[in-house]
């Protein structure tokens, strides 16, 4: 789909506002990737809405020539839910940070996921509070020294993918800022998904948390550590696909293919209605350290909240006829004084 020419170019999605992230910030790449992707779609751009909370990542809507709202900290999933429930025709994207989405906004996120509201959440996870200048976030690794944890953070971090699966999100994926092609594939899948979708994007904050993703981006490390999940395929990775993932009794572990034989390797089924196997895969890593799955963990179909709302509106009209105010105010009985 991305190679068909469309009426848009990336420029059509650029605003006249100067982009104001630190030089070198991963957000620039993400913006470019999203703009390019949007241009590749055949969606009228006035039908696209970007909603964000507060944070560096959350500046995103200002740079997208679509409708947009830079709301308040943590509340973007709630606002976006209202947007799409009120107008199901819109393509609604949420851009959020690890603090925005998982700290103050954690509850709205998991509720949007369970309700399967038709919003697409891009979580820019830089494992730090960027905008407030470098305090640890709910995804910062334990022990991390930051401004607010001079002796090391004592917060055990979330695994955002596990959390989203626990909330039964119908689409859960993970990608990384440096891999534009992979991210584009994820965006395409989210675009095609009808329902809530959640994408964790490892994003480098070169000012307050530089090189947090070295295991996945370092020239020497990345090939050993990136586990690309592909639906219907055995989960293989590493140089020459020499490694694979085995899932036994709910435990996923990394194995050498030569040792276990390719038949023992777990075949990934993103469309499994049971989130159990996807969850097991999410446990392979805890943060971007060592072999870490990227790609679509889960992609299932469930009725969306918005469709159910719309269906009840229709059904109610069918049952009771279009609302008649004169009748409504008389519904509990009236009397007349002459």
Ligand X SMILES: Cc1ncc(C[n+]2csc(CCOP(=O)(O)OP(=O)(O)O)c2C)c(N)n1
Q: Mask: binding to ligand SF4, 150-189, rule CB under 6 A, as x and -?
A: ----------------------------------------
Report whether 175 contacts 281 (CB < 8 A).
no
Which of the ranges 111-119, 130-138, 186-194, 305-313 carries the binding residues for ligand X, by CB under 6 A? 130-138
Rg (CA), the chain: 22
Q: Which of 31, 39, 49, 56 binds ligand SF4 (CB under 6 A)?
A: 56
Query: Which structure tokens are listed for 334?
Result: 């009236």
Contact residues: its own copies, CB under 8 A: 103-107, 110-111, 114-116, 138, 151-152, 154-159, 162-168, 247-252, 266, 272, 274-281, 283, 302, 305, 308-309, 312, 315-316
| 72 interacts with another protein by CB under 8 A | yes
Binding-site partner at residue 54 among ligand X, Mg ion, its own copies, none, CB < 5 to 8 Å by type: ligand X
| 8 interacts with ligand SF4 by CB under 6 A | no
Across-strand partners of 21? Answer: none
| 104 interacts with another protein by CB under 8 A | yes
Please classify residue 289 by burial: count the beta carbons closer than 10 Å to its beta carbon, then call 0-12 exposed, 13-18 middle and 19+ buried.
Answer: middle
Query: Which structure tokens are listed for 12?
Result: 């059509």
Q: What is the three-class DSSP state of 153? A: coil
Q: Mask: binding to ligand SF4, 222-261, rule CB under 6 A, as x and -?
A: ----------------------------------------
Report whether 76 contacts 105 (CB < 8 A).
yes
Least distance between ligand SF4 and beta carbon 18 (Å): 13
Q: Which of 53, 97, 157, 306 binds Mg ion (CB under 5 A)?
A: 97
Least distance between its own copies and beta carbon 70 (Å): 21
Which of the ranges 8-16, 179-187, 206-214, 247-255 carries the binding residues for ligand SF4, by CB under 6 A? 206-214
How many other CB atoms are there within 10 angstroms of residue 240's CB atom?
Answer: 8
What does each C-alpha distance from 86 to 51, 90, 108, 191, 302 come to in angstroms? Answer: 15, 9, 17, 19, 20
Least distance between ligand SF4 and beta carbon 58 (Å): 10
289: left (phi over 0), alpha (psi -120 to 50) or beta: beta
Binding-site partner at residue 206 among ligand SF4, Mg ion, ligand X, none, CB < 5 to 8 Å by type: ligand SF4
Binding-site partner at residue 207 among ligand SF4, ligand X, Mg ion, none, CB < 5 to 8 Å by type: ligand SF4
Label residues 213-223 b or e (16+ Cβ within 10 Å = b).
Answer: bbbbbeeebbe
- Stretch 167-226 residues interacting with another protein (CB under 8 A): 207
Number of residues that bind ligand SF4 (CB under 6 A): 11
Q: Which of 9, 17, 256, 301 binds another protein (CB under 8 A)?
A: 17
Query: Which structure tokens are listed for 266?
Result: 């777990």
How many other CB atoms are there within 10 angstroms of residue 88's CB atom?
Answer: 15
Chain length of the chain: 338
| 174 interacts with ligand X by CB under 6 A | no
260: enclosing H helix or E strand: helix 257-260
CA distance 156 to 140: 8
- Stretch 101-160 residues interacting with Mg ion (CB under 5 A): 126, 130
Cα 50 from chain centroid (whole Å): 13
Kindly report the backbone phi and psi dihedral angles of residue 76, in degrees, each rounded to the nearest multiple of 5, phi listed first: -55, -40
Nearer to its own copies, 15 or 145 (CB): 145
Binding positions for ligand SF4, rule: CB under 6 A: 21-22, 25, 27, 56, 126, 130, 205-208
Binding positions for ligand X, rule: CB under 6 A: 54-57, 73, 97-100, 124, 126, 128-132, 137
């Amino acid at each position: 789909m991305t190679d068909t020419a469309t009426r848009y170019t990336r420029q059509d999605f650029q605003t006249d506002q100067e982009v104001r992230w630190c030089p070198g910030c991963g957000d620039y790449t993400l913006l470019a990737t999203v703009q390019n992707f949007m241009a590749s779609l055949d969606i009228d751009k006035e039908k696209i809405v970007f909603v964000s909370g507060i944070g560096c990542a959350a500046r995103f809507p200002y740079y997208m020539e679509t409708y947009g709202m830079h709301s308040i900290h943590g509340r973007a999933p709630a606002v976006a839910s209202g947007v799409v429930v009120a107008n199901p025709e819109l393509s609604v994207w949420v851009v959020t940070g690890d603090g925005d989405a998982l700290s103050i906004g954690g509850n709205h996120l998991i509720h949007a996921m369970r309700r399967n509201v038709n919003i697409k959440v891009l979580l820019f996870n830089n494992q730090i509070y960027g905008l407030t200048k470098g305090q640890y976030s709910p995804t910062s690794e334990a022990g991390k020294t930051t401004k607010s944890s001079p002796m090391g953070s004592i917060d055990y971090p979330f695994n955002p993918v596990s959390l989203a699966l626990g909330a039964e999100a119908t689409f859960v994926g993970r990608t990384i800022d440096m891999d534009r092609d992979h991210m584009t594939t994820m965006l395409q899948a989210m675009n095609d998904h009808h329902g809530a979708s959640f994408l964790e994007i490892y994003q480098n904050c070169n000012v307050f948390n530089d090189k947090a993703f070295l295991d996945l981006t370092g020239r020497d490390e990345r090939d050993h550590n990136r586990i690309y999940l592909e639906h219907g395929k055995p989960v293989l990775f590493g140089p020459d696909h020499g490694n694979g993932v085995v899932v036994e009794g709910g435990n996923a572990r990394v194995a050498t293919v030569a040792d276990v034989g390719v038949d023992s390797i777990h075949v990934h089924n993103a469309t499994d209605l049971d989130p159990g196997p996807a969850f097991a895969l999410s446990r392979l890593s805890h943060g971007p350290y060592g072999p870490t799955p990227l790609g679509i963990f889960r992609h299932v179909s469930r009725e969306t909240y918005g469709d159910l709302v719309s269906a009840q509106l229709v059904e109610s009209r069918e049952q009771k006829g279009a609302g008649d105010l004169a009748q409504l105010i008389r519904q509990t009985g009236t009397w007349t004084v002459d």
